[in-house]
Amino acid sequence: MDLTGLKAKSPACRGCSLRSGAGQLVPGSGNPGAVLMLVGEGLGAREGRVGRPFVGAAGQLLGRMLDAAGFRREEVYLASIVKCRLPGNKKPALAEVEACRPLLAAEIDLVRPQIIVCLGALATRTLVAPGASVTRLRGRWIEKDGIHYLPTFHPAALLRDRGKIPLLEEDLRKLRAAYQALHTKQLALTF
């Protein structure tokens, strides 16, 4: 299966409670050969309508911050833990996260990123460790299964608490340095 086949896999999701009334399945988008993948929690109303992650207010803020850090959206891959929009913007339950986990795992296997930025607590707990705290791990590199993870705040949290913006900017500077080291292969990458 390739990335376009992920949407075709949506009939397998029809037995999931999320699929009833959830609208369309929204896989990640971006560069299918990206070194860098950013993974968020779930989908807002706009993402559910458009069919792409990170196109709402939080996504626009993330886009501006990525631009400021020297990244183009076209060079990264953006995904979410939960692939269907949850009614009422509710937090995903563990069963909903587990139902979507195979699709995220397939995206990671197909893109094969070297770096994954975990945007928020749910992405950090899902991808790094079940009991992990994004506040404690924010800005720290974690290597797991040959991938380097960088937990940080979700841009939606920054919309609610602007005081966290400098912390995410700091994390994006760390990310940029690591990405350049990987991308140019001129520096030894140390985590």
CATH superfamily, with its number, for domain 22-184: Uracil-DNA glycosylase-like domain (3.40.470.10)
Question: E strands within the chain?
Answer: 29-30, 36-40, 76-80, 115-119, 142-144, 147-152
What's the CA gap between 7 and 99, in Å, rounded? 15
- pLDDT tens, position by position, 104-113: 999 999 999 9
- Predicted TM-score of the model (pTM): 0.89
Confidence at residue 187, expressed as pLDDT on a 0 to 100 scale: 44
Kindly report, residue by residue over 91-142, the tens digit of the pLDDT: 888 888 888 899 999 999 999 999 999 999 999 999 999 999 999 999 999 9
Q: Report whether 65 contacts 155 (CB < 8 A).
A: yes
* 32-63: pLDDT as tens digits: 999 999 999 988 888 888 888 999 999 999 99
